[in-house]
């Protein structure tokens, strides 16, 4: 059984060290490879920024390729899967930025809510056998399963609130047993399916689950980035986040990071959009602060300098 002592973290301020001339945009996706190099898929002129575990700069690539970076995941061979919800594609790259596979045709979306790939797809996950799951997304309400070479195997889901239905499937992850976890954001839940899309269960008591990562092993824990209340009707309501939740596999709360209200203070969040862990358990959280600033802080001018991501050091008891 996992305990809070396994998931205690402290923020490391100004961890990332990109060189002069490279300024991060909103870090929509984060992935960590087998060497603990951290890939920041961000909305800037340098879409993929690669850093060492200590935050030092390695390289950047992807200039001119992407429309709106959204999701990043990594395979066992360190191939990087990048989801672009602006041009409706999923692309697979080598760690140094060589294109290996593309699913979808840039700037040719499928019809709205047609459940055909893709209409503003959001994220990818790999099964233990290499199949590719894609959550789709902002203008669809489904999950697509592809073979490792990008051939469509099946699609499941439709708009709605019942089991197996979605209201903005925003993130997706797969565990060692092949179960598929989908952050069903505007239904305030995570749905769990088997590898063929059969509904198994759901995890509730969440608020707009946005970022999602799971630990390794037979009974993984979930790390969930929750967005806060941005609508006028509940904007001032306390205790709704944004936060980073740590849950066991049954949805029981283990720990949570953040505050009851949005903040740019270290350890707090504005819009936690992407989550990743490295091999020693340190935590990386990317945010879409610039994108969500006006909704989170209405009437407040946005600062010129914004923190786009945070690293948290795991505290070992």
pLDDT digits (tens, 9 = 90+) for 154-201: 999 999 999 999 999 999 999 999 999 999 999 999 999 999 999 999
Whether the predicted pLDDT of 102 surpasses 70: yes
CATH of domain 4-314: 2.120.10.30
- What is the mean predicted confidence (pLDDT) over 118-127? 98
Complete DSSP assignment for the chain: ---GGGG-EEEETT--BPPTT-----EEEEEE-TT--EEEEESSSS-EEEE-TTSBEEEEE-TTT-SSEEEEEE-TT--EEEEETTTTEEEEE-TTS-EEEEES-TT-PPPTT--SS-SSEEEEEE-TT--EEEEE-SS--EEEEE-TTS-EEEEE--BSSSTT-BS-EEEEEE-TT--EEEEEGGGTEEEEE-TTS-EEEEE-S-SSEEEEEE-SSSS--EEEEEP---STTTTT-SS---EEEEE-TT--EEEEEE-SS---STT--S-EEEEEE-TT--EEEEE-HHHHHHHHSTTSPPPSS---EEEEEEPP-
Q: Mean of the pLDDT values across residues 207-222? A: 94
Does residue 204 carry a pLDDT above 70?
yes
Q: In the chain, what percentage of residues exceed pLDDT 70?
A: 100
Q: Is the pLDDT of residue 294 over 70?
A: yes
Whole-number pLDDT of residue 1: 67
The per-residue pLDDT for range 3-60, each reduced to its tens digit, is: 888 899 999 999 999 999 999 999 999 999 999 999 999 999 999 999 999 999 999 9
Task: Summarize the confidence of residues 99-115 as an average pLDDT.
Answer: 97
Tell me the pLDDT tens digit for each residue of 68-88: 999 999 999 999 999 999 999
> Would you list the domain boundaries of the chain?
4-314
pLDDT classification of 231: cutoffs 50, 70, 90: confident
pLDDT at 281: 95
- Residues 245-291: tens digit of each pLDDT: 999 999 999 999 998 899 999 999 999 999 999 999 999 999 999 99
């Amino acid at each position: 059984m996992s305990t809070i002592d396994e998931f205690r973290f402290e923020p490391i301020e100004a961890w990332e060290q990109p060189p002069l001339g490279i300024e991060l945009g909103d870090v929509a996706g984060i992935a960590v490879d087998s060497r603990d190099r951290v890939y920041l898929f961000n909305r800037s002129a340098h879409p993929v920024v690669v850093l060492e575990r200590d935050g030092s700069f390695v390289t950047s690539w992807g200039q001119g390729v992407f429309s709106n970076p959204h999701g990043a995941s990594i395979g066992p061979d360190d191939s990087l899967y990048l989801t672009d919800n602006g041009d409706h594609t999923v692309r697979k790259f080598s760690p140094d930025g060589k294109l290996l596979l593309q699913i979808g045709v840039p700037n040719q979306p499928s019809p709205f809510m047609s459940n055909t790939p893709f209409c503003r797809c959001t994220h990818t996950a790999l099964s233990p056998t290499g199949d590719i799951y894609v959550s789709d997304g902002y203008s669809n309400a489904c999950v697509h399963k592809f073979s490792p070479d990008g051939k469509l195997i099946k699609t499941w889901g439709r708009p709605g609130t019942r089991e197996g239905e979605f209201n903005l499937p925003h993130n997706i992850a797969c565990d060692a047993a092949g179960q598929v976890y989908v952050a069903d954001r505007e239904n305030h839940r995570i749905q769990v399916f088997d590898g063929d899309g059969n509904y198994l269960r759901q995890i509730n008591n969440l608020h707009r689950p946005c970022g999602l990562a799971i630990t390794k092993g037979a009974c993984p824990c979930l790390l969930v980035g929750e967005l806060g209340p941005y609508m006028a009707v509940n904007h001032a309501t306390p205790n709704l986040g944004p936060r980073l939740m740590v849950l066991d596999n049954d949805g029981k709360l283990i720990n949570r990071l953040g505050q009851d209200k949005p903040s740019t203070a270290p350890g707090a969040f504005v819009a936690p959009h992407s989550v990743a862990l490295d091999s020693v358990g340190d935590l990386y959280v990317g945010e879409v602060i610039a994108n969500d600033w006006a909704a989170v802080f209405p009437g407040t001018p946005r600062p010129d300098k914004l923190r786009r991501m945070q690293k948290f050091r795991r505290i070992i008891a």
